[in-house]
Structure 1
Amino acid sequence: MRPDERGAQPAIATIDIMMPFYGRVDHFEAAVESVLAQTDPDWRLVVIDDHYPSPEAGRWLLDIGDPRIEYVRHESNVGINRNFQESVERSTADWVVVFGCDDVMHPGFVARIRTLVEAHPDAAMLHPGVRIIDEDGSPVRTLVDTAKGWYRPSSAGTVVLTGEDLAVSVTRGNWMNFPAVAWNGPMLRATGFRAGYDVVQDLALVIDLCTSGGSLVIDPVVTFDYRRHSASVSSWKAADGSRFIEERAFFLELAERYRTIGWPRAARAARTHLSSRINALTRVPSALSVRDTASARSLLRHTFTTGG
């Protein structure tokens, strides 16, 4: 724990940064270095290596020799959903970030999260301002991100969403950048990621917290770089259309769930799943350019089909 400037006992202890790892080593190193560069040093970084073929990342990490860093390597690959859930289970702090192994924190990220926690101690989720970067680390604005930006609440100050308003916002737009989110640790561990999802597991967690009464705090101050590139799980599943099969099934189930609890606006948003359909439409030209007609048909089917 760190004392505050007045010497009083701190309200907030160490923040857990949990990093499921499987990907490019250079991006991984940049992510870790961004944690080491934090102006607020009160963090714990736990890297869970899902048996990436090369041991290079683990060797590099352990050579740092920082006692705040822990490293776990699986004996075999368990998959993204299980690795994310293990990140939840290994966390112990009151506030937890499930950090992407290819994303980058700005130096003031942890300090800003701590400020938000002090202002909103009972929140379930804290979402900082995010900048989108490409594979080379340059700022970029894709069509997908532009569409998602239509749905993200905009304000000069922080915004707090709860209940059906929160459900409508994230269901209609799915605009959140989940690796940037700080989660209320006890709430996160009590809920966890649902088994069986590889693409919408983050959104499912948000919905589960929302329907349990949890709130989302949205902060406009940019302290995080989210990397958008073709090598991510969501990107390659989007390219061949498989992500949208999972999304459609999820949204249909979600519409019924919302209807049951009496949230008609959220149920309508789930049936329409507009941003997901726009995302699918943007992938059609890529599929056609490589003559992948099967994927193109799948993408078009998702684009022009709703849940009624």
Structure 2
Amino acid sequence: MKSVDVVIPNYNYGRYLRACVDSVLSQDVEKLRVLIVDNASTDDSSEVARELAAMDPRVELRLHETNLGPHASFNEGIDWAESNYFLILCSDDFLVPGALNRAITIMEENPDIAYTYGRDVDIQGDSPIPSIAGQQSRPQYRLDSSRSFIERFCRLGVFQIPGPSIVIRTSVQKSTGYYRTELPHSDDYDVWLRLALHGSVAELDCIQAGIRTHGTNRSSDLWARQILHILHTADAAECFFAHEGGEMPDAKYLHRLARRGLAERAYWSAISHLLRGEKGVGELLKLAFRWRPVTAFLPPVGYLLQRPDTLRRLQRLVDMWARGTKRFRIGEAGSRP
């Protein structure tokens, strides 16, 4: 029997909690359990959670009187999990219909897969969940071996994975262990790398989850967000190679590759900010030059050739430049006598 345990950590997101839980309970799996872990919310989260549990016996509650932080919620969920598959879904996000069954079907066919992930759809603010076109029940997918997945992260210095879409084999999560409290901002990246040590990773060619962007969970300062994300990713890489990753046969090479990938990512982030006329260029270049001094003299063009989203990003920058040039020409024309 296909069985899934879904942990939903929550803090003051009572306004999103019902939609999140409903998106899970409507999944077409045979055996499903939901655990809402509330971290002493001060809004109506507890009331919403109790209503949801009263309406469906598949919903269980852990309502804390003291805020123990997100790590405690994640790790409590790992201890609670007992089904074949496992997922952590933050309460402001949601699952797309059929997401769990799609992931499980592929993982049942390939017992070596440690976890799967898919694409996401973005929601801004308090907007309702949009209507999403039906996804294939048996989507195409790309399978990365343990080694190739970790190397790809190191080479690019970034994860392009929507966290809410990750469905994990519970036995692998138990073997991997807890989220590390010493990584307050990138504990998930460290866990994803450690999970990959236990098997291959499948990227599904379909939309699996939705991520809500709002003022509470996302800074409005783009350059600060970008530089912090790079620094937090670097923290995760250093932690991984200081622990389990350091036991890989070619750990030293991969560790150097990760530092190079992060430096080159910082370099091109700086160039992107420069072309958009945004601040933070100097800070990003300092990171790049510190981690890989050669980038001060030799632009890392090879990095762009390896990122799958390079063409899309370049097109967006070209469009922005073209619009800016057009506005400048209109301004010139308007200033003539």
TM-score (norm 2): 0.69
The CA deviation at 1:23 is 3.8
Structure 2 CA distance for aligned equivalents of residues 24 and 90 of structure 1: 22
Paired residues of 2:260 and 2:292 also in contact (CA < 8 A): yes
The CA deviation at 1:249 is 3.4
Q: Does 1:99 align with 2:89?
A: yes
SS at match of 1:174: coil
- The runs of 5 or more residues in structure 2 that have no matched partner are 131-138, 294-337
Task: Give the corresponding residue for 1:206.
Answer: 192
**Aligned pair in 2 of structure 1 residues 94, 299: CA closer, same or farther (>3 Å)?**
same
Task: Give the corresponding residue for 1:167.
Answer: 150
> Which of residues 59, 71, 79 is equivalent to 2:47?
59
Paired residues of 1:97 and 1:182 also in contact (CA < 8 A): yes
Paired residues of 1:199 and 1:234 also in contact (CA < 8 A): no
Computing the radius of gyration from Cα coordinates, the structure with the larger value is 2
Paired residues of 2:7 and 2:77 also in contact (CA < 8 A): yes
- Aligned residue identity for 2:86: V
Paired residues for 1:76-225 under 5 Å: 76-135=66-125, 136=127, 157-171=140-154, 172=156, 173-192=158-177, 193-211=179-197, 213-225=198-210
Deviates more, 1:241-250 or 1:198-207: 241-250
Identity of matched residues, %: 19
Paired residues of 1:128 and 1:221 also in contact (CA < 8 A): yes
Structure 2 CA distance for aligned equivalents of residues 125 and 88 of structure 1: 15
Task: Give the corresponding residue for 2:27.
Answer: 38
Q: Does 1:239 align with 2:225?
A: yes
Task: Give the corresponding residue for 2:313.
Answer: none
Paired residues of 1:281 and 1:299 also in contact (CA < 8 A): yes
Root-mean-square deviation (Å): 3.4
The CA deviation at 1:179 is 1.9
Structure 1 CA distance for aligned equivalents of residues 20 and 286 of structure 2: 37
Structure 2 CA distance for aligned equivalents of residues 49 and 281 of structure 1: 39
Deviations 1:164-195 (A, max 9, x none): 21102233231111221011101101212223
SS at match of 1:124: strand
- Aligned residue identity for 2:22: E
TM-score (norm 1): 0.74
SS at match of 1:231: coil
Task: Give the corresponding residue for 2:64.
Answer: 74
